[in-house]
C-alpha cells in the first residue's frame, strides 16, 4: 500500500485543473504534478513561454506557473503515461448539461468522466487513488468504481470525492486560503487511508481543521448544494430588486440592512443582471433532475425556481432597455461594457451578457461590445451557439471593439454587463459628449456613481433602484 504521494496526475487542464494543480505544485515541491488534456491547443497554451498567453486569466496565476512549470508542474498531452506513473489521479474534466437524449437540458453529461474512468482502467498497472474533482451528480462514484473494478488486472482503486469550491476571478486566493476542503470516501480501512493521504496534500498549506472528511455521497451532494444555496441568494436579492424598482426602496440598502443580521450574513447579496458562469445553472439543473428522478417533485420545483428567477432578471434588464428607449431599438447603437460573466475572468460561459444581447438583437439593435479580456471570436461563438439567427446576421448586427472610447461615438445607450473595475475609471464626461442625446446608461452591476452620472447629464438606470 501507498505510504506517501509523490506523483499526481490531473486529467483536464481547464479552469479548475490548471489553477488547482498549479497551487498544489507550488505548495508541495516534493510532489510531481502532471496536468494532461486531450486538447492539444490548450496544453500548448499552458506551455507558452509568454505567460500572458496562458489559456486562463486569473489574478496571481501566471506568477505561480512561472515559479513551478517544468520544475514540478508539467502540462502534457500524454494522458496514458501520466496516468500510469501517478499515485493519485484527479479527474477534472467538464461535466456539461446534456444536450441530447434522456435528461436533455437538465442532467449532467457524464461521457467525459466515463471515458476517463475507462482510460484509467485500461492503463493502470499499480494501485491508484482516483479523485473526482469535477462536480458530479450524487452517486457517480458508484459508476466509476464499477468500471474500475472490472478491469481484471488486479489493480486496487480507491475512489474519493474532492469537489472544488474556487470561484473564478479569485481562484488563486480561494485555493491558497480555502474556507474548507471536502474529502469524501469509503468508510473502510483502505478508504480511510486514501482520505488521509489526500488530506496530507492539503495540510501542506491549510490548517487541519479546515479539511472535512465525509462519506462519498455526502461529499458529492454537498458540492451541488453549496452552489444551489449561493445561486439562491443571488436570485433572492434579484427578486427583491424588481420590487425595489416599483417601490422607491433601494436594493443595496435592503441588502445591507438584512446582511447585518449575522444569521443572514452580508456576502453574496449583490443584485445584478443575473448570475452566469459554467456552474450555477448546470448544478441546479442537475439537482432538479436528480430530485425529480427520485420522485421528489416538490424538491425539484423548489430549486428550479432559482433558475426561473435568474432568467426573469436577464429578460427584465433587456426589456427595460427596449421600453426606456421609446419601445424601439431597431438600428440604434447600444454599447456593451463587459461580456465575461463576472470581473477578473475571461470566462463567458452562461454570461448574462449573451442573453441580453440576444434579446436586443432580436429587436434589430446594433450592438458594439467591449470586454478587457474577451476576444471577438468568443463573443461570436457564444451568440452563434444560441442558434437564434445565422452567424452572418450576428456579424452584421454586432461588432466587437478594442477601444471603449471610440466605441461610444454616436451611441444611444451604454449597458454595463460586467463589473470590471476599469469601467469606473473612464472619463464619463467625455463619453457623454460623444454619445447621442438623450444619453442612457443601463447599469446591470450597480457599478457607477448614480449622482455623478446624473450630474453629467446621463439618463442613468441601475438594477434595483429608480
Ligand atoms: P473546462 O471545460 O475548463 O476544462 C475541462 C477540460 O477537460 C477541457 O480542457 C477538456 O479538453 C478536458 N477533457 C475532457 N475530456 C477529457 C478526457 N477524456 N481526457 C483528457 N482531457 C479531457 O472545465 P472546468 O471549468 O475546469 O470544470 C471542470 C469541472 O469542475 C466541472 O465538473 C465543473 O462543474 C467543476 N467546477 C468548475 C469550477 C469553475 O469555476 N469553473 C469551479 C468548481 C468546480
Ligand atoms: C461559483 C461558486 O462561488 C464557487 O464556490 C464554485 O466553486 C463555482 O461556482 C463552481 O462550482 O463553478 P463562480 O461561478 O466562478 O463560482 O463565480 P461566483 O463569484 O460565484 O459568481 C457567479 C455569478 O453570480 C456571477 O455571474 C456573479 O456576477 C453573480 N453574482 C455573485 C451576483 O450577481 N451577485 C452576487 O452577490 C454574487
Q: Helix or strand or coil: residue 28?
A: coil
Residue 135 annotated as binding site: yes
Tally of CB atoms within 10 A around 432: 17
Complex ipTM over 0.95:
yes
For the chain, the structural domain boundaries read 7-214, 309-462
Q: How far is CA 190 from CA 1, 111, 113, 364, 397, in A?
A: 9, 28, 23, 62, 60
User: Strands (DSSP E) along 115-154, which ranges?
Assistant: 128-132
Q: Which residues contact 302 (CB under 8 A, 6 or more apart)?
A: none
In this prediction, residue 1 carries a pLDDT of: 61
Q: How far apart are CA 400 and CA 380, in angstroms?
A: 9
The burial of 259, by beta-carbon neighbours within 10 Å (0-12 exposed, 13-18 middle, 19 or more buried), is given as middle
Q: Is the dihedral of CA 444, 446, 447, 449 positive or negative?
A: positive
Residue 281 annotated as binding site: yes
Assess whether the C-beta atom of 164 lies below 6 angstroms from ligand 2.
yes
Nearest atom in ligand 1 to 165's CA: 43
- The ligand with the least distance to the CA atom of 37 is 1
Q: Output the CATH code of domain 309-462.
A: 3.40.50.720
The residues of the chain scoring below 70 in pLDDT are 1, 152
Most ligand 2 atoms within 8 A of CB, residue of 16, 61, 251, 275 to mutate:
275
Show the cell assigned to 327.
419601445
Location of C-alpha cell 461615438 = 409
Nearest Cα residue to atom 27 of ligand 1: 94
Show the cell assigned to 248.
422607491
Q: How many helices (H) and strands (E) does the chain have?
A: 18, 14
Most ligand 1 atoms within 8 A of CB, residue of 10, 11, 13, 16 to mutate:
16
In this prediction, residue 466 carries a pLDDT of: 85
Q: Which residues contact 253 (CB under 8 A, 6 or more apart)?
A: none
In this prediction, residue 67 carries a pLDDT of: 98
DSSP letters, 357-400, are HHHHHHTT-EEEEE-TT--HHHHHHHHHHHTSS-HHHHHHHEEE
Q: How far apart are CA 241 and CA 205, in angstroms?
A: 40
Nearest Cα residue to atom 29 of ligand 2: 275
Which residues, judged by CB distance below 6 Å to any ligand atom, belong to the binding site of ligand 1? 11-17, 37-39, 42, 79, 92-95, 112, 115-116, 134-135, 164, 166, 168, 278-279
Domains 7-214 and 309-462 equal at CATH topology level = yes
Assess whether the C-beta atom of 167 lies below 6 angstroms from ligand 2.
yes
In this prediction, residue 401 carries a pLDDT of: 95
Q: How far apart are CA 64 and CA 115, in angstroms?
A: 30
Nearest atom in ligand 2 to 269's CA: 36
CB 402 within 8 A of CB 375: no
Location of C-alpha cell 505510504 = 3
Q: How far apart are CA 45 and CA 71, in angstroms?
A: 17
Ligand 1 mean position, distance from CA 385 (Å)? 19
Residue 279 annotated as binding site: yes
Most ligand 1 atoms within 8 A of CB, residue of 92, 345, 346 to mutate:
92
Region of 40 (left: φ > 0; alpha: ψ -120 to 50; beta: rest) is alpha
Ligand 1 mean position, distance from CA 147 (Å)? 21
Q: How far apart are CA 361 and CA 393, in angstroms?
A: 9
Residue 13 annotated as binding site: yes
> From 3.90.1300.10, 3.40.50.2300, 1.25.40.80, 3.40.50.720, which CATH number describes the 7-214 domain?
3.40.50.720
The burial of 425, by beta-carbon neighbours within 10 Å (0-12 exposed, 13-18 middle, 19 or more buried), is given as exposed
Q: Which of 28, 116, 244, 279 is catalytic?
A: 279
In this prediction, residue 138 carries a pLDDT of: 85
DSSP letters, 318-354, are HHHHHHHTTT--TT-EEEEE--SSSTT----TT-HHH
- Is-above-0.90 flag for pTM? yes
Q: How far is CA 269 from CA 159, 247, 259, 272, 339, in A?
A: 36, 19, 8, 9, 21
Residue 106 annotated as binding site: no
- Residue 279 annotated to the active site: yes
Q: Is the dihedral of CA 444, 450, 452, 458 positive or negative?
A: positive
CB 184 within 8 A of CB 219: yes
Q: How far apart are CA 323 and CA 413, in angstroms?
A: 13
Amino acid at each position: 500500500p501507498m505510504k506517501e504521494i509523490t506523483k499526481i496526475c490531473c486529467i483536464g487542464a481547464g479552469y479548475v485543473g490548471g489553477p488547482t494543480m498549479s497551487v498544489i505544485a507550488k505548495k508541495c515541491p516534493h510532489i510531481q504534478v502532471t496536468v494532461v488534456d486531450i486538447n492539444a491547443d490548450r496544453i500548448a497554451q499552458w506551455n507558452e513561454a509568454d505567460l500572458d498567453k496562458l489559456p486562463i486569466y486569473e489574478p496571481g496565476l501566471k506568477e505561480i506557473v512561472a515559479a513551478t512549470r517544468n520544475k514540478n508542474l508539467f502540462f502534457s498531452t500524454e494522458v496514458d503515461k501520466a496516468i500510469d506513473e501517478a499515485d493519485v489521479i484527479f479527474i477534472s474534466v467538464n461535466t456539461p448539461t446534456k444536450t441530447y437524449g434522456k435528461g436533455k437540458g437538465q442532467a449532467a453529461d457524464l461521457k467525459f468522466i466515463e471515458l476517463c474512468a475507462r482510460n484509467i482502467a485500461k492503463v493502470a498497472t499499480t494501485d491508484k487513488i482516483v479523485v473526482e474533482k469535477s462536480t458530479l451528480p450524487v452517486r457517480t462514484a458508484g459508476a466509476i468504481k464499477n468500471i474500475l473494478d472490472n478491469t481484471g488486472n488486479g489493480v486496487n482503486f480507491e475512489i474519493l470525492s474532492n469537489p472544488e469550491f474556487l470561484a473564478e476571478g479569485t481562484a488563486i486566493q480561494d485555493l491558497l486560503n480555502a474556507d474548507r476542503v471536502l474529502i469524501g470516501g469509503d468508510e473502510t480501512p483502505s478508504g480511510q487511508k486514501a482520505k488521509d493521504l489526500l488530506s496530507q496534500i492539503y495540510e501542506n498549506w491549510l490548517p487541519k481543521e479546515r479539511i472535512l472528511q465525509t462519506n462519498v455521497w455526502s461529499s458529492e451532494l454537498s458540492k451541488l448544494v453549496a452552489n444551489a444555496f449561493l445561486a439562491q441568494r443571488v436570485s433572492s436579492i434579484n427578486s427583491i430588486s424588481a420590487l425595489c424598482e416599483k417601490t422607491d426602496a433601494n436594493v443595496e440598502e435592503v441588502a445591507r440592512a438584512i446582511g447585518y443580521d449575522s444569521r443572514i450574513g452580508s456576502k453574496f447579496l449583490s443584485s445584478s443582471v443575473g448570475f452566469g458562469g459554467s456552474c450555477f445553472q448546470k448544478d441546479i439543473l442537475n439537482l432538479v433532475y436528480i430530485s425529480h428522478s427520485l420522485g421528489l417533485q416538490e424538491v425539484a420545483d423548489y430549486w428550479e425556481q432559482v433558475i426561473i428567477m435568474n432568467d426573469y432578471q436577464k429578460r427584465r434588464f433587456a426589456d427595460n432597455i427596449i421600453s426606456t428607449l421609446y419601445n424601439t431599438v431597431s438600428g440604434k447603437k447600444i454599447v456593451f461594457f463587459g461580456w465575461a460573466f463576472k470581473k477578473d475572468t475571461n470566462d463567458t460561459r452562461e454570461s448574462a451578457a449573451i442573453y441580453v444581447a440576444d434579446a436586443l438583437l432580436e429587436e434589430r439593435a446594433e450592438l458594439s461590445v467591449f470586454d478587457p479580456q474577451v476576444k471577438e471570436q468568443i463573443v461570436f461563438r457564444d451568440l452563434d451557439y444560441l442558434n437564434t439567427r445565422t452567424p452572418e446576421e450576428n456579424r452584421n448586427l454586432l461588432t466587437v471593439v478594442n477601444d471603449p472610447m471610440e466605441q461610444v461615438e454616436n451611441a444611444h445607450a451604454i449597458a454595463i454587463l460586467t463589473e470590471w473595475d476599469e469601467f469606473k475609471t473612464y472619463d464619463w464626461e467625455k463619453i457623454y459628449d460623444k454619445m447621442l442625446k438623450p444619453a442612457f446608461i443601463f447599469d446591470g452591476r450597480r457599478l457607477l456613481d448614480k449622482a455623478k452620472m446624473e450630474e453629467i447629464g446621463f439618463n442613468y438606470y441601475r438594477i434595483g433602484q429608480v
